Structure 1
Amino acid sequence: MIPRFSVSNFIAVVNQTFDVAFAGMVEVEGEVSSSKSYPPKYAFFDLKDDDGLVRCFVGFSNLRTPIEDGMKVVVRAMPALRDKGAFSLNVQEIRPLGKGSLKRSFDLLKQKLTVEGLFSSERKRPLPQYPQRVAVISSTKAAGYADFMKISRERWGGVKFVVANVNVQGANAADQAVRAISYFNQMSESPDVIVLIRGGGSAEDLASFNDEKLVRAVASSRIPTMTGIGHEIDESLCDLAADVRAATPSNAAQLLFPDKREVIRHLHYRLIDAKDSICRAIEEQSLNATMLQKEALKQWSSRVDAAVNATLSQQKVIAEYDPEMALRRGYAMIKGDLQIGNIVEITTKDIIMKARIENSEQRYDN
């Protein structure tokens, strides 16, 4: 018996069949054509090959890789029959295929984000000189991660590493890295720096690091970011957005951490210089103190000599007024009432006499 459906029921059954047949999702590979964008909401394009064509619809939140006509891509999408009978792919993810398409997508997004100033050098922040808490986003099974950790521990010590183990290629890689950046930025004890690491690989392997959402997450992180992605010749948009770009994961460890042996050697030389400077300062201060002491003693000696001389002069003056000195020079002292007829006492150097005043005359100076 041939089943009969209403139009809406038929559409529902067809879509249900798609869900069962493709587990809700399918990947389709082809060439982009007739692409039209309606930012910031959605875009339409056709996906074609030599023998067929299928229409595609994608919301702008899922259009994280720029596309244009002629590019070869693979889309992850949900096939759907629309209410008006049109069949299309509801695209969730787009990945360019081949070096040409990857390069063109890279250039388109780079141009767009450059105009926005996302790669401007004025936005770059310096990394801490001696990081103590480092967040690492990488696959813990990857050789690049192992190289980074090995060199980091050889160069520096006492660092707390907080690691987000994520895929570094494939469909979910970019989203996992975005969530890791968000998580680290919301931690109560923030890391000093976030390092995004991935070893070498093909252009397709590194494509997730050109994902627009991930690039924006790197650029907008409130914690300084560093990338060590691929080989020296590889360049990703995440590299351009990061505060510091290292050529490789190993180079990231070299740029992030000082060499403890060099630091110890430098400190040793600084201690020697400090010791020499302190010894010179002590010697200069000692010499200066000795000179000041000699000058002070000289000044006090001069003051003492002046005081002694002043005392001797005063002693001489006092001696001049000593009556005994006058007696020794032949003078005599008379004591009593010097009226005629009175008895007075006369003292000389050797004797004391008494005499009566018989006569007196007024003396007049010439």
Structure 2
Amino acid sequence: MPSEEAVPACDPCLGGIEAISTAVLAMSGHLEVREVLRRITASARSLLGAEYAALGVPDDHGGFAQFVVDGVSDEQWKAIGPLPRQHGVLATMLHDPAPTRLADVRRAPAFEGWPAAHPDMTDFLGMPIVDGTEILGAVFLANKAGGFTAHDEELLRILAAHAAIALSNARLYERSRELTLAGERARIAHDLHDAVSQKLFSLRLTAQAAATLVDRDPGRARAELAEVARLAAEAADELRAVVVELRPAALEEDGLTATLASQAQVLDRAHTATVAFEARQVRALPAAQEAAVLRVAQEALHNALRHSGAGSVRVTLTGTPARGAVLRVADDGHGFDPDSVRRAGRHLGLVSMRDRAAAVGGTLTLESAPGSGTVVEMEVPGA
């Protein structure tokens, strides 16, 4: 639907640059889609001085996948009822990239009314949020003293362009997180199959062998039962280790240093190998860096405890002068030839660890040789 008043071809909205900058910073500092939508809505309402604001993201079934409001109390929102459908003025905006500015939305040809508890609205300004040719959603403003102007429309257009970037980034982040979680689940399932399932299978066969030897060869039966006890203990260790990895790391509540210390302590109890942790002059890191360091530490510990035959593993986290940090995971296991492993098509999680480091601007190195143990070192920058 075209605007009622054309936007003048003049220097656009210089008076609103500072306000737009504040609004853009408010909505771009978040990565969760719901929070980004809320920030966009609140920023638009504050920027233009409107009484009400809303933002709708359409689904593929004639409704809204998400709908966020600002200026409406929780009690009012509950009284209004179900989310609106894509009809009337809202539907027009979701299929037309042009802005909509009306002196009285109730007189628009496409207006179809609203629920009884819905606040009364007159002047209206709506702006699609567009990424290329795709309309991601639309932001709606209503009831501004004196009505909306061409200047307001231009301010909202600029804000919507930045909102499209923030929303696209948030969607990519959430998709990346979903893929990461899926990968973690697949890896843990693989670990369960390779480690626990095989040990339980061996345990069952050994127990069957012991049962057949009880009368014929009691000495060998006792030896087989001792092996059953050993395999059961190893299976219990493996299960405890997997449970540790399934538990969500409390990064937000405890921070990286405390979380790593806790994980090392639990793994030390769960495995026969000694697991020690030390931190030196570590400052708080950005959330993305802390998450990457934790995941790399978990992967390196996984390799050391499950594959290296190590008697001890030492984890250190050291702060750098540039406010970054260096993670070091060293074991005294049998080591390996990295080139041979790579040629054989086995990666031991190295690709994943390097990708995690690179994603936060860090680097990852690995040193290992047969009989010499393994050292994984990751360095990340600070804020």
Q: TM-score, normalised by structure 2?
A: 0.23
Rg (Cα) greater in structure: 1
Q: Which has the higher helix share?
A: 2
The two structures have a TM-score, normalised by structure 1, of 0.24
